Amino acid sequence: MTDFQAIADRVEIEALRGEFTDCVMMRDRARLASLFTSDGVLRMPDVPVEFVGPEAIRVGGERLQEQWDFFVQDTHPGTVRIDGDTATGRAYMHETLRLRNGFQGLNHAVYHDRYQRTPDGWRFAERTYEIRYLDTTPLTGRAPGSTTGAEPFTAAATGDRLERTAAALTANGFTVELLDDVDAARSRVKELIPEGAEVFTAASETLRLSGIDEDINGSGRYRAVRPLVLAMDRVAEADGFRRLLARPDVVVGSVAAVTETGSLVIASGSGSQLPAYAGGAAQAIWIVGAQKVVPDLQTALRRVEEHALPLESARTEEAYGQPSAVNRLLVLNAEPRPGRGTVLLLREAVGY
């Protein structure tokens, strides 16, 4: 191989890497897939995904792309070592992103590459993506026309994500019903709770906005716990107060987040509703808006701190003159008692 050929190969491989980034930025997955050999592999263990062959790379990439609110990728030159018709190399990446589920941040990463000379020129035989630095600090900017902007936890989850979340909750022992809106949830709650049952409604904007709180505490159909405890002296009657909240027939409330892996996350300043949620109540019903769906527990905790807490603090400042706090956190990963826990998962956003 002449020196001129080696230079030409290096220029073509560098152009191949630049083409990859252009495809990502232009969201042209068909063109990106054509940059790989027929058995080429795209591996991203930190995502985690692995696609083998151009068609899988195209389809898988389009699926990932649907999750983006915005995504910016910069490629910086790395090494190239040529050995006849094969070569190896590395390219260095800097990416800024925000996903529709609220995840956001920036990272620095490395693509570890293998290249193959083909009749159509150099192609990727393998790209393996390794994140070297990740910063999930909320971004202060936004992409023009982005769907989530500065409030990434307010958008209702898509139908596919709701179905996936419902399936995971069901697999974890919860009874799950996908309902269209709060009116459907309101009707369903009336059907689920026997008349005359002792019912505790946890403090919840979802219950208030939907009218479910008033249906339970003001209708006279049930032995409502909340009006009783509000009338009690919390010092002189502390023991009775605690018992009423901890073991009602039914507890009704909402959650701060629900994960696509099938967990419910509840944050509380006082912890008053947590014993009933965790198992003290014979029956638990959670009404969950579609905007509360997040991919995993890490994102759920971010939703609690970055989204739900500031809104709840604003409410408690107005109502009680002091901010709220996440003093207690409950994660329900499964329901071991079949039929006890019901999640009414809505297709619309409600509450916060």
Location of structure tokens 């916060």: 352
Q: For 209-234, what is each residue's pLDDT tens digit? A: 999 999 999 999 999 998 888 887 77
| Over residues 287-307, mean pLDDT | 91
Question: Which one-letter DSSP state was computed for residue 138?
Answer: P
Give the whole-angstrom CA distance, residue 258 versus residue 346.
12
Q: What is the pLDDT of residue 69?
A: 78
Please give the residue that has the higher pLDDT: either 116 or 299.
Answer: 116
- Non-local CB neighbours of 249 within 8 Å, separated by 6+ positions: 194, 197, 198, 199, 281, 282, 283
Q: For 47-106, what is each residue's pLDDT tens digit? A: 899 999 999 999 999 988 888 878 899 999 899 999 999 999 999 999 998 887 667 889
| Over residues 242-252, mean pLDDT | 91
Give the whole-angstrom CA distance, residue 31 versus residue 27.
9
| Residue 256 predicted with pLDDT over 80 | yes
| Over residues 14-35, mean pLDDT | 95
Mean pLDDT of the chain: 91
| pLDDT confidence bin for 150, thresholds 50/70/90 | very low
Domains of the chain (ranges; CATH) run 3-135 (3.10.450.50), 159-346 (3.40.50.10420)
| Residue 151 predicted with pLDDT over 60 | no
Nearest residue to 58 (alpha-carbon basis) of 24, 91, 89, 25: 24
| Residue 281 predicted with pLDDT over 90 | yes
| Over residues 276-283, mean pLDDT | 95
| Over residues 132-141, mean pLDDT | 82
DSSP labels, 154-219 = -SPPPHHHHHHHHHHHHHTT-EEEEESSHHHHHHHHHHHSPTT-EEEEPP-HHHHHHTHHHHHHSS
Alpha helices in 254-296 (DSSP H): 274-275
pTM: 0.61
* Tokens describing residue 337: 């008692």
Q: What is the pLDDT of residue 149?
A: 43
Nearest residue to 95 (alpha-carbon basis) of 75, 111, 69: 75
| Residue 27 predicted with pLDDT over 50 | yes
Nearest residue to 344 (alpha-carbon basis) of 267, 252, 282, 266: 252
Q: What is the pLDDT of residue 221?
A: 93
**Distance of alpha carbon 250 from the chain centroid:** 28
* Tokens describing residue 108: 């620095």
Q: What is the pLDDT of residue 6?
A: 87
| Over residues 114-134, mean pLDDT | 96
Buried b (16+ CB within 10 A) or exposed e, 252-274: bbbbbbbbbbbbbbbbbbeebbb
- Whether residue 142 contacts residue 104, with contact meaning beta carbons closer than 8 Å, is answered with no
| Over residues 288-302, mean pLDDT | 91
**Distance of alpha carbon 168 from the chain centroid:** 13
